[in-house]
């Protein structure tokens, strides 16, 4: 089945990473894949646009099905390969509810990170405002504190409880991203512990963004969050 | 089970409406609910914040589980009440893939609508730029065209094919919203037909935003899209 799949991806992109973690967890190694460069604008290339008309990565084909939305891809793969590799949905209804809630909240975390990290990239120079930057940073701080609180309260090592689920698949890349961009480990000890704890999980290790391996140091953009 | 649920909601909010459609489809009428006013700022009240610390509606409790993210609530309800009311997930893998993809893409549609409709509400006066307004409107136009294209291509009356699924549950409210705010029916005939076709579906009729019934005319904000 893996040979019927094609993933076009960018290094470090949380949405791409989610799909790659799921493919690893489901023992779907050997899928066709191609690493593209955001810097070179390859996410706007015809190759990508033919699969993903929004010109975003991932662009993912699973047989004849196109699943460019990363969380959709993860949920679909889990549903189609339920008993292959690791089960990523808990049986316990309480954990399942928490899983769905965290998966969807993860999108909010990613959006708010993006508004801070990519402000200068996304907003033309003459439209930039210090007040907006301040507001975005405050919103991200509130958001990150929520997640620190979630990890304080949860019973278990993972976002939805005792097992690794789609919540971890979908949110771990976003949390790693925060630390890569300088989030203070001392200020967010539960998030930092979670980040380090899952680093060695085989699916995560195997799909670690290659350019993060080349330089362990990211930017300090989120130091003050 | 419905009596163990509590939904705090706002009229016309696509995320709230999604949950209400699902509850209707699953024959879970009789749940506890309270209509709150965005205008009066009731979404920031203690009652809401205690359930949803982001101060957003819906705030939804299902027994002890908190599911404020609307798509999460819909997916969870479907998983827990699989054989009650209408089945909202297709068996066919191709339709299932399309369902997940459209559910998640719906978030993008909603975000882009919000950036146009709520620009003046969200952006302080001294930070507003005509260039940003223009860019947001262009992005929404591109997005709406995508959806018109999806409905042109799909085989069947619904977003994922021949049956009403979670894709319709999650995206129909956003599409209705576009027309409420003046989207041109002639320019988007497939979307308009879909919008009118599903209006009479019992779950949608029963949960139609009450203040839309009072005045059938919304604003013309999206006329030029």
Identify the band that residue B13 occupies on the pLDDT scale cut at 50, 70 and 90.
Answer: very high
* pLDDT at site A219: 82
Interface test with B, best of A72, A74, A98, A159 (most B CBs within 10 A): A72
Q: Which residues of chain A make contact with B139, given a CB cutoff of 8 A?
A: none
| pLDDT, tens digit (0-9, with 9 covering 90-100), for B80-107 | 999 999 999 999 999 999 999 999 999 9
Whether residue B217 is predicted with pLDDT greater than 80 in this model: the reply is no
State the pLDDT confidence band at B1, using cuts at 50, 70 and 90.
Answer: confident
Considering only the beta carbons, identify the residue of A72, A100, A129 that sits closest to B100: A72
ipTM above 0.90, yes or no: yes
Chain B neighbors of A124, CB-CB under 8 A: 131
- Tens of pLDDT, residues B171-196: 999 999 999 999 999 999 999 999 99
Substitution target in A44, A98, A101, A142 with the highest count of B β-carbons within 10 Å is A101
Q: What is the pLDDT of residue A1?
A: 83
Q: With helix as H, strand as E and coil as C, how does chain A read? A: CHHHEEEEEECCCHHHHHHHHHHHHCCCCCCEEEEECCCCCHHHCHHHHCCCCCCCCCEEEECCEECCCHHHHHHHHHHHCCCCCCCCCCCCHHHHHHHHHHHHHHHHHHHHHHHHHCHHHHCCHHHCCHHHHHHHHHHHHHHHHHHHHHHHHCCCCECCECCCCHHHHHHHHHHHHHHHCCCCCCCCHHHHHHHHHHCCCHHHHHCCCHHHHHCCCCCCCCCCC
Whether residue B127 and residue A126 make contact (CB cut-off 8 A), yes or no, is no
What is the tens place of the pLDDT at every residue in A170-217?
999 999 999 999 999 999 999 999 999 999 999 999 999 999 988 777
Residues with pLDDT less than 50, chain A = none
pLDDT at B214 over 90: no
Tokens of B223: 């006329």
* Domain chopping of chain B, boundaries: 2-80, 93-214
Find the chain B residues whose C-beta atoms sit closer than 8 A to any C-beta of A: 53-54, 62, 64-73, 75-76, 79-80, 93-94, 96-98, 100-101, 103-105, 107-108, 111, 124, 126-127, 129, 131-132, 146
Binary contact (B65, A94; C-beta < 8 A): yes
Between B70, B73, B94, which is nearest A65 by CB?
Answer: B94
What CATH number does domain B2-80 carry, 3.40.720.10, 3.40.30.10, 3.10.580.10, 3.40.50.11260?
3.40.30.10
With contacts defined as CB-CB under 8 Å, which chain B residues touch A80?
A: 93, 96
Percentage of chain B lying above the pLDDT 90 cut: 96
What is the pLDDT at residue A189?
Answer: 98
What pLDDT score does A163 carry?
Answer: 97
Of B53, B101, B124, the CB nearest to A66: B101
Res B53 pLDDT > 80: yes
Beta bridge partners of A32: A6
Give the class (CATH, top level) of B93-214.
mainly alpha
Distance from the Cα of A105 to chain B's closest Cα (Å) equals 7
| B66 pLDDT more than 90 | yes
pLDDT of residue A169: 98
């Amino acid at each position: 089945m893996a040979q019927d799949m094609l993933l076009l991806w960018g290094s470090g992109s949380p949405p791409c990473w989610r799909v790659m973690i799921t493919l690893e967890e489901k023992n779907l190694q050997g899928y066709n894949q191609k690493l593209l460069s955001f810097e070179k604008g390859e996410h706007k290339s015809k190759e990508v646009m033919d699969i993903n008309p929004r010109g975003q990565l991932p662009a993912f084909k699973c047989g004849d099905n196109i699943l460019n939305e990363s969380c959709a891809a993860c949920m679909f793969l889990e549903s189609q390969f339920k008993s292959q590799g690791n089960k990523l949905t808990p049986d316990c209804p309480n954990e399942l509810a928490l899983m769905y809630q965290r998966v969807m909240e993860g999108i909010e975390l990613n959006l708010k990170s993006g508004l801070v990290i990519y402000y200068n990239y996304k907003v033309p120079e003459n439209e930039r405002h210090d007040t907006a930057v301040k507001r975005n940073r405050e919103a991200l701080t509130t958001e990150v504190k929520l997640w620190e609180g979630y990890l304080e309260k949860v019973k278990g090592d993972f976002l939805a409880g005792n097992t690794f689920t789609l919540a971890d698949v979908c949110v771990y890349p976003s949390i790693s991203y925060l630390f890569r961009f300088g989030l203070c480990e001392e200020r967010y000890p539960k998030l930092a512990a979670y980040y380090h704890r899952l680093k060695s999980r085989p699916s995560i290790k195997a799909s670690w963004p290659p350019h993060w391996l080349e330089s362990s140091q990211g930017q300090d953009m989120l130091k003050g969050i």
